[in-house]
Amino acid sequence: MLQSKKMFFTWVESLLVSLSISALITLLLLPSLGTREDLHQSLKVETPKPVAVHQDFVPLTELSVLIRESNNLIGFREKMGYRESRNNYFITNPYGHIGKYQFGKSALKFYGISEKDFLNSPSLQEKLFDRSLSHNKWKLRNEIRDYSGKYVAGVLVTESGILAAAHLVGVNSVKSFFKSKGKSMYADANGTTITNYLKSFQNFDLSQIPASEYDGRKII
């Protein structure tokens, strides 16, 4: 019993010594720490410090530009979407054109797609755009063959430029433009001309898109 009491008092004595040492350290440090406001002030960063960024890092905005400027089908899609709607799948403009690629009601009717289904499905919009390119490539196969690599109305004609122009003003307007050797100028409701799209969409590789007339099968 006596031994137990002795051990207890020894433990208490050790605890008190530890607490005293901690209290003493705190008292010694308080003057250097100062008040809470002093502490906050000491942690305040007056001037942001420069940080190293990996040289391969590409900001998101620049990455978007790089994609649009890639001369392949993906780049063509993204540049067209950006020009038409800033790549907004869910927009309807004042003229009733809808979606990322701003298809009109007559085009949707031709392909048997409802406005509601189209506007609510980014996947369907991408599929229709590719199918429309394929159909227009077939409809304009003679113009692509006869005018690619030549200058019309001061603009170098390419396959991708022709297909972009067809999306802008329609196949028949593009045919009339070439038939008149560029004298018959066409533009969309916003005033964007055929030659603008012929030039803006030059030299994209659209070899992935076959020239194929739309056969009436539902696009899903």
* Model pLDDT for residues 135-148, shown as the tens digit of each residue: 999 999 999 999 99
Asked if the structure places residue 213 within a domain, the reply is: no
Asked if the structure places residue 86 within a domain, the reply is: yes
**What was the pLDDT predicted at 2?**
47
Residue 51, both tokens: 């940080």
Asked if the structure places residue 206 within a domain, the reply is: no
Closest CA to 80 of 204, 172, 189, 187: 204
Min mean pLDDT across 34-48, 96-110, 113-127, 180-194 is at 34-48
Q: Which domain holds residue 121?
A: 60-200
Asked if the structure places residue 8 within a domain, the reply is: no
Residue located via tokens 């890639």: 70
155: CATH: 1.10.530
Answer yes or no: is pLDDT of 86 > 70. yes
> Using an 8 Å Cβ cutoff, are 107 and 135 in contact?
no
> Using an 8 Å Cβ cutoff, are 173 and 194 in contact?
yes
Domain count within the chain: 1
Residue located via tokens 């430029």: 161
Asked if the structure places residue 24 within a domain, the reply is: no
Task: Dump pLDDT digits (tens) for 12-29.
Answer: 455 444 545 454 444 444
Task: Dump pLDDT digits (tens) for 28-67.
Answer: 444 544 555 554 555 455 555 554 444 444 454 555 555 6
Q: How many CB atoms lie within 10 A of CB 89?
A: 19
Asked if the structure places residue 126 within a domain, the reply is: yes
Helices 122-139 & 159-169 angle (0-180, nearest 10) = 110
Asked if the structure places residue 122 within a domain, the reply is: yes
Q: How many CB atoms lie within 10 A of CB 181?
A: 10
Distance CA 217, CA 88 (A): 27
Asked if the structure places residue 146 within a domain, the reply is: yes
**Extended strands (E) in 38-175:** 151-152, 155-156
Residue 156 DSSP symbol: E
Task: Dump pLDDT digits (tens) for 115-170.
Answer: 999 999 999 999 999 999 999 999 999 999 999 999 999 999 999 999 999 999 99
Residue located via tokens 């006869």: 146
Of residues 34 and 99, more confidence is placed in: 99
> Using an 8 Å Cβ cutoff, are 170 and 197 in contact?
no
Which residues, in sequence order, are CB contacts of 40 under 8 Å at separation 6+? none
Burial annotation 5-26 (CB, 10 A radius, 16+ → b, else e)? eeeeeeeeeeeeeeeeeeeeee
Of residues 8 and 175, more confidence is placed in: 175
Answer yes or no: is pLDDT of 177 > 70. yes
What secondary structure does DSSP assign to 80-98, as a single string?
A: HHHHHHSS-TT-B-TTS-B
